Amino acid sequence: MILVDTNVHLDVLSDDPKWADWSARQLARARSAGPLVINAVIYAELACAYETQAELDTYVASDSFDRQDVPWEAAFVASRAFLRYRRSGGTRSAPLPDFFIGAHAEIMGWPIATADEGRFRTYFPSVVLKTP
């Protein structure tokens, strides 16, 4: 299983000129190794790309997507990472989605496919990242 960050999905869906090819390859590689994992945070971020929930559900209904809840333990890990972020000068007042995604992957021992490695490398160094 691999947790696939929202930006990978959006790159493919929007045919991003810089990242679409890399993201499509990551999705294909991950699919060949097993189910792609999404959670409610990723689902919510993906929803911005769709007009209706039915359209989004069609995209994530594929047998290759496994919807997983964010474990309670991951919420605590996300809060610790967020506190480190704030103490190092971060300005956001609420935990960012990346903290929940990173904590979920850390707790489950899953890699993350992402083109946005900064926060993951900094706050979740034990998580294996699939990056460009």
pLDDT digits (tens, 9 = 90+) for 67-122: 999 999 999 999 999 999 999 998 888 778 999 999 999 999 999 999 888 889 99
> Could you tell me which CATH number the domain at 2-130 has?
3.40.50.1010
Inter-axis angle of helices 53-60 and 40-47, to 10 degrees? 130
Q: What's this model's pTM, rounded to 2 decimal places? A: 0.89
Write down the domain spans for the chain: 2-130
- Give me the mean pLDDT over the 14-20 stretch: 95
Q: 21, 115 in Cβ contact below 8 A? A: no
pLDDT at 87: 95
Which secondary structure element, helix H or strand E, spans residue 57, and what is its range? Answer: helix 53-60
Q: How far is CA 4 from CA 7, 8, 13, 69, in A?
A: 8, 7, 14, 14
pLDDT tens digits, 22-65:
999 999 988 888 889 999 999 999 999 999 999 999 988 866 78
The residues that bridge with 4 in the sheet, in sequence order, are 113
